[in-house]
Amino acid sequence: MNTTMEQTLLQKAKDARAFSQAKYSHFKVGAALLTDANEIITGCNVESSSYSLTICAERVALTKALSEGKTKFKAIAIAAKDGEFCPPCGACRQLLFDYAPDLEIILTNGNQQQHYTIKELLPHAFEDSQLG
Ligand code: THU
């Protein structure tokens, strides 16, 4: 991905964090998912008083995109607290892998970036081919 697109994606993830519904944890997360057509779909975490119903920013972005018929993805940027990188949780890793096994993952701590692939973050993944 070129630098301009990466900067745009990072900024969208940071902007999406402003909409975070995190009244229980106060941990605000924003995500920006890049489609193969270079569209950007954002998400933020949405928490519930029944804590386990909370949805992470990454899964909000992914399900928003899928529900709009966007099914091919190149990258996702994730922004949380300034000064800290926020790697995706295990549940998000599985869902991201299911829909985008070659996804690039860009974490930002506000001014520095870390780059991963979903395969690096979820080695030996369970995958749909195993369902027969
Ligand atoms: N969270 C995310 O949205 N994404 C992550 O990658 C890690 C965790 C959210 C879930 C919950 O609302 C809060 O952060 C604390 O776990």
pLDDT of residue 1: 83
CATH of 3-131, one of 3.40.630.30, 3.40.140.10, 3.40.50.2300, 3.30.470.10: 3.40.140.10
- The per-residue pLDDT for 132 is 86
**Which of 24, 26, 28, 29 should be mutated for ligand 1, with most atoms under 8 A from CB?**
29
Q: Dihedrals φ, ψ of 117, to 5°?
A: -110, 160
pTM score over 0.95: yes
CB crowding 4-15: b at 16 or more within 10 Å, else e: eebebbbbbbbe
Q: What is the pLDDT of residue 88?
A: 98
Task: Please tell me the distance between residue 71's alpha carbon and the centre of ligand 1 in angstroms.
Answer: 23
The residues, ordered by sequence, that sit 6+ positions from 128 with a Cβ below 8 Å of its Cβ are: 98
Residues of the chain under the 70 pLDDT cut: none
Q: What is the pLDDT of residue 28?
A: 98
CA-nearest residue, atom 1 of ligand 1: 56
DSSP letter for each residue of 14-54 = HHHHTT-B-TTT----EEEEEETTS-EEEEE-B--SSGGG-
What are the domain boundaries of the chain? 3-131
Q: Is 127 a catalytic residue?
A: no
**DSSP, residue by residue, 94-125:** HHHHHH-TT-EEEEESSS-EEEEEHHHHSTT-
Farthest CA pair distance, the chain: 44
Tell me the per-residue pLDDT of 41-66, one tens digit each, with 9 for 90 and over.
Answer: 999 999 999 999 999 999 999 999 99
Is residue 30 lining ligand 1, measured as CB closer than 6 Å? no
